[in-house]
Homo-oligomer: A and B are copies of this chain.
């Protein structure tokens, strides 16, 4: 079984999904091979970085030829583990929770939302699409019965840490955190933060910087 070079730098890992995306576009356009140079032009990066990045994981190209688009897609999907199906639950069935649920259901199917949980009992009434919404009280029991890989936190800021603790107690493997809370989790649990608020402040910073430059 193939083992990937462990501990590739995170900046490299975070670029892989972008490579994947551009390669899929190329595939749709019917392009079968691409050189690091041409890909770099399309992506606005450097050929050197692309080659360097890919070689953390293996030699996927061929000298004098370039990269076979569909093969490289498969390779990246394997690295990112896109082919596996991850069982998810969403904590918080408000607009954000629903948005993420829809989003995931449109993802190529490598994530499956098993259930949603909410403290608001009224939300548990509506059978939301196909996905059942349970009261948070039932979370513990639910996680005892079913294997869950990823908990997606879509609760308000104040409930963040408490929701995290609940899924950790339930034996979760990974948390996709959409709250503004900084979660402290035990060793071995994967946390990926989507810090929407921070993103907005960066935007306002850039806006004000731009306005200053114009004056």
B80 and A204 contacting across the interface, CB-CB below 8 Å: yes
Q: Which of A14, A18, A101, A199 has the most CB of B within 10 A?
A: A199
A214 to chain B, nearest CB (A): 8
A145 to chain B, nearest CB (A): 21
With contacts A205-B81, A209-B6 taken as known, whether A196 is within 8 angstroms of B197 at the C-beta atoms is no
| Cα distance A100–B199 in the bound complex, in angstroms | 12
Q: How many copies does the complex hold?
A: 2
Closest to A7 in B: B209
**A3 near B: Cβ within 8 Å?**
yes
| Cα distance A68–B210 in the bound complex, in angstroms | 29
**A180 near B: Cβ within 8 Å?**
yes
Question: Could you say which of A136-144, A161-169, A186-194 contacts chain B?
Answer: A186-194
